[in-house]
Structure 1
Amino acid sequence: MITFPLVWIVSILTIIAAFALSQNDRVIFQARFYLTAFFLLLAVIGLLLGMRLSFQSQLAADLQPLIAVMIAPSAYLGFRALTQETPSPFKQLFYWNWLPVLVSQAVMIAKILVSADFFILGITGIYLIKTAGLLRYESDAFKQIPPNGLNIVRAAISATVFLFAMMVTLDGLIIVAAIFADNVSVVKYVTGVSGLFTAFIFIVALLGLPLILRTSISDTTACKEPTDQDVEMIARLEKMMVEKRLYTDSNLTLARVAKRLSVPVRNVSEAINRSTGENFSRYINNYRISLAKKILSETDLPITEVMFEAGFVSKSSFNTEFRRLTGLTPSLYRESLSNSN
């Protein structure tokens, strides 16, 4: 009698979650791409795991490590993209992240006398550390996330770190069992237990991460009420923005603004968060997009020149922020103005 592996239900739900995330254009493309890939890789692992445990499929056993080695880099790159104002160059991502993965997969396929679990353990361990490092970032470092979503994003990263820690622990157990256990059945038992534990973690990640990602990009969560000092500081900051147009400086940083106001960096960041519900990057970009809209409506300057005039240096970042605030790309916005006239 053929039984339907329970873990396949998790895979189906994970695929649904991946599809929902891929359609959410409020998450920047690079983050959406890698986090969607993360979910799909988990789904494939679940399918292969079901084939191994229920049908003793050797093909699934051969493919599983090739897929597993890609999981941690995908999740890390997805979360890291939320901290970047502009996407990382493809070549940089390839050399530092995917080339080691491809080399590991080549060695696995060649069946050189090294256990595939060593590669999974090593790569997952590295990205466990790198992903955990994202938890040290301040709110303004997450440039693509509103401040009121930071705690939820941290929870998502923490859940992913826990998943990686489980993978590292279980792969370590498999390696130890393979080295010290004379009985092959012990290795098979540990492998089976690792699959069940991994499936359990998949369920936790599946239930938690989509909700976390959906909530993290929502701007509806209430922020703390601004203090009198916050109101005064924001008034000074807005006056400085209007009179000196600091936002047109593409190299403007929170530290430079704090220095001009003669207050600690943290105070400026918290005042912006509590008063506007935005982080520093979005606060500045709001001014930049307002200027860009004005230029687009009053001149015939090319889109690229408008971008530079407003203080942006990346077309991708400019388009993303423009769409976030207007629902249109700069070119479509200009076209809509022409049609209305």
Structure 2
Amino acid sequence: MPSLPLPFFTALFLCFILLRLVAGYGRKLPPMLLVTICLYALQSVLLGIKWGMGGLPSWSTAGLALLLPPATWLSFLQLTNRFSKKAIGWTAGATTASFGVLVVAPNFNIPSLIDLTSVAVYLGYGALFFRSATVKQWEWTSHLPLDQMFPTRQAQLIAGAVFSTSALVDLAVASDFALNRGSHAATIVGTANLVMLVALISLVVLMSRKPSVSQQPEAQNEAEKVSATPEQVELVDALDQLMRSENLYRDENLSLDKLARKLRVPARQISTAVNTVREINLPQYTNGFRVTEACHLLETTDTPITAIIYEVGFTTKSNFNREFQRVTGKSPSTWRKESRTSGVTEPA
């Protein structure tokens, strides 16, 4: 039974993730991310042509497939301000080695070496994404705009999962050909295609649906709550005062590092204090100030909602609407209409 190749869904899946990150970063599009998205688009087109009409040399899609993991990795490094000559050097060296195998293997009649190299590359970068997202995350998220800390980490986890899944499926198919002459290969690929397609559709639905109050995380049980120390309460009070006196929340690029420098305390202490004292994360805390000012502007001025979004520090309309709904339980337009009738100017 003919089926779309798994790399097609892998490219489509990761391209969607990168495009979501682009939307979150507003107009600022890092060059490496643009290059990577173009590579994914080209890979999808080539695989579609090869699947539908054939005639493309195998090295064209194989070579491009080997470029996708390092390009994606460099994109994330640039997004998280970790783009350095050392990182480029290591990535370029590993990529050159994998392409060396692609060139040498046919000359020695070892086609399986190409498959094993592809599996190793995808597994390696999958592990790299997992490690980056879970180990020492304070070192690479603290300088990101607050609204991008968690989406960027989640995107890395998804990228790691997709690369690893693609590699494991390729390994399973290669093993089946070696042990069973490929008798189960069609089933393996077909099942993997179905899983990837369902995952892609689920991700699109999840990221496209409108937020609601019922989707907010449930409050912690009393037994699970950690009591805030006097130092943490004092730190959050100081942060409150700093936010109000300097209107720091209006800075769309406000980061944990900037707050740490202002308060002269370690970045991790700030985030932990906000989580413990207010029981929300730092982006939600900052967005609370933004929503409060937005409510005031909606009630007291005729400024268009689209202008208010950027004036109070949000970078995207979707994030503004989601956070406004979370804080007030209403849409911005409904709030403007009702607040002018009732005289309420701040969220409860």
Provide the residue aligned with 2:167 in structure 1: 168
Give, in angstroms, the shift of residue 166 of structure 1.
4.2
Give, in angstroms, the shift of residue 280 of structure 1.
2.2
In 2, the alpha carbon distance for the partners of 1:301 and 1:143 equals: 25
Give the direction of change, closer, same or farther, for the CA distance of 1:102–1:195 in structure 2 (3 Å limit).
Answer: closer
CA RMSD of aligned residues (A): 4.9
In 2, the alpha carbon distance for the partners of 1:80 and 1:135 equals: 22
Provide the residue aligned with 1:35 in structure 2: none
Give the direction of change, closer, same or farther, for the CA distance of 1:262–1:313 in structure 2 (3 Å limit).
Answer: same
Give the 5 Å matches for 1:32-51: none
Percent of pairs with identical residues: 22
The equivalent position to 2:183 in structure 1, one of 188, 193, 196, is 188
In 1, the alpha carbon distance for the partners of 2:276 and 2:68 equals: 37
Give the 5 Å matches for 1:1-341: 57=1, 61=2, 63-65=3-5, 69-71=8-10, 73-74=12-13, 77-78=16-17, 81=20, 85-86=24-25, 92=34, 94-111=37-54, 112-114=56-58, 118=62, 122=66, 129=125, 132=130, 133-136=132-135, 137-138=137-138, 161=160, 164-175=163-174, 186-192=181-187, 198=192, 218-221=217-220, 224-340=226-342
In 2, the alpha carbon distance for the partners of 1:284 and 1:246 equals: 9
Give, in angstroms, the shift of residue 99 of structure 1.
3.3
Give the direction of change, closer, same or farther, for the CA distance of 1:98–1:76 in structure 2 (3 Å limit).
Answer: closer
Give the direction of change, closer, same or farther, for the CA distance of 1:169–1:216 in structure 2 (3 Å limit).
Answer: farther
TM-score by length of 2: 0.57
Provide the residue aligned with 1:6 in structure 2: none
1:174-200 per-position Cα deviation (integer Å, ceiling 9, x unaligned): 35766xx6x9x612334445667x499
Q: Which amino acid aligns with 1:104?
A: L
Give the direction of change, closer, same or farther, for the CA distance of 1:263–1:285 in structure 2 (3 Å limit).
Answer: same
Provide the residue aligned with 2:111 in structure 1: none
Give, in angstroms, the shift of residue 258 of structure 1.
0.8
Give the direction of change, closer, same or farther, for the CA distance of 1:145–1:241 in structure 2 (3 Å limit).
Answer: closer
Q: Which amino acid aligns with 2:184?
A: Y
TM-score by length of 1: 0.58
Assess if the C-alpha contact under 8 Å between 1:247 and 1:310 holds in 2.
yes
Provide the residue aligned with 1:7 in structure 2: none
1:259-285 per-position Cα deviation (integer Å, ceiling 9, x unaligned): 111111111121112222222222111
SS in 1 for 2:259: helix
Give, in angstroms, the shift of residue 87 of structure 1.
5.8
Unmatched runs of 5 consecutive residues or more in structure 2: 73-121, 344-348
Assess if the C-alpha contact under 8 Å between 1:323 and 1:329 holds in 2.
yes
